[in-house]
Structure 1
Amino acid sequence: MLQRGSQCTPETVRATVTMESFSSRDMAMRVQKKFLSSMATKGSVQMFIDDTTSEILDELYRVSKEYSGNKSEAQKVIKDLIKIAVKIGVLFKNNRFSTDELVVATDFKKKLHFGAMTAISFYEVDFTFDKAVMAELLTNCRDLLLKLVNTHLTPKSHGRINHVFNHYSDPELLTKLYEPDGPFRPHLTKICKGLNKLVEEGTI
């Protein structure tokens, strides 16, 4: 993890992301600095990735790394997720969405909220997990997000959205994640604890 006041050179960035102690918060900081560096209002833009979200992302990273056995791929998925979140945050901050697009944004937030509540419910009540339901919710969120950013982001960014949602809607990954006595249970516990906090705060 980068220490406060250290120089964020290409060498230190590469050293940081290759360390075992992967930090979504550090990655989010680098992504945000990159996207906000050219904005006139950069001084007034708040963080788009808060502490609770960072903790959830760290657990999602660990799930991806342990499931795939590929640390680089796991980091890429989280990096893509952070890039999308920051870009959409910048668009919202600068009022770039039309009235019709804001309706889509509202639909997306409702679907995300319902997805979070469903994920928490499946965790809290044993043997209620349904991989088809979770996969469909994630796919619906993906489609709404693609519709929202259709005219604002590049095909490369659309690809990042597909990459993230297709990865986490994998039925086999979801099944492994929700095994009551499975190896991913500690990660799921922390993810759902974070989701519950975000729901209570009205963030999602």
Structure 2
Amino acid sequence: MIWEIWKGKANMDAFSAKDMALKAQKKILSSMATKSSVQMFIDDTTSEILDELYSVSKQYSGNKSEAQKVIKDLIKIAVKIGVLFRNNRFNTEELAVAQEFKKKLHQGAMTAISFYEVDFTFDKTVMEEILTSCRDLLLKLVNAHLTPKSHGRINHVFNHYSDPDLLTKLYDPSGPFRSNLTKICKGLNKLLEDGTI
């Protein structure tokens, strides 16, 4: 009995982006018949980055459920966009927006890594502008496909991570998030090398 209680308590704080992604995929894919859509949308490297982002959010906000909600929203959006892509739901104009978004995301990853590698080069205005541009492009991309609730999720995620105070703390070379940023940038590097972003 005591062991069961302790074990339950120990697992209460276990949060895995990968598990959350799987749940979201199952929920969405259960209503879809196409075999091609039954694929992983979020890989291991991305899951590791999301876990680090969760840790940063949790520590920064001091609110575990808010940190989980941000990551859940991010995963739901990524999975839904993945489903739309795999089912060829975007028209030519929207695909051009998607390319623009991918370029901006690539630029954002390169900038994030550069700011990490060279101490005291971090510029919160630059990061905020890139994240805001990514948000706006994503909203434009899904405008005709997703509900206002999903649009709210996109805003929630990007507004959370473009918070200048959070970004400043994240990039403080002697701050509490240095090890998280190291892992995030290592993951981003891998995604860049693989051509994922």
Question: Smaller-chain TM-score range?
Answer: over 0.9
Bigger helix share: 2
Of 103, 109, 121, the residue aligned with 1:110 is 103
Deviation at 1:43, TM superposition (A): 6.1
- Tell me the number of residue pairs that the alignment of Structure 1 and Structure 2 aligns: 189
Aligned twin of 1:122? 115
Report percent identity of matched pairs.
83
Aligned equivalents of 1:37 and 1:197: distance in 2?
Answer: 31
Question: Which residue in 1 is equivalent to 2:33?
Answer: 40
Secondary structure, in 3 states, of the residue corresponding to 1:153? Answer: coil
Partner of 1:185: 178
Q: 2:140 aligns with which of 143, 147, 158?
A: 147
1:3-49 per-residue CA deviation (whole Å, 9 max, x = no partner) reads xxxxxxxxxxxx89x72121000000000000000111146521000
Alignment-derived partner of residue 197 in structure 1: 190
What CA distance in whole angstroms lies between the structure 2 residues aligned with 1:44 and 1:94?
7
Structure 2 equivalent of residue 93 of structure 1: 86
Give the Cα separation in 1 of the matches to 2:180 and 2:98. Answer: 29
1:169 aligned to which of 150, 162, 175: 162
Determine the structure 2 residue equivalent to 1:20: 13
TM-fit CA distance, 1:151: 0.3
Deviations, residues 71-112 of structure 1 (Å, cap 9, x unaligned): 000000000000000000000000000000000000000000
List, as ranges, runs of 4+ consecutive aligned residues in structure 1 with deviation greater than 6 Å. none
Q: Distance in 2 between matches of 1:196 and 1:129?
A: 18
- Give the superposed CA RMSD: 1.3
Structure 2 segments unaligned to the other structure (5+ residues): 1-7
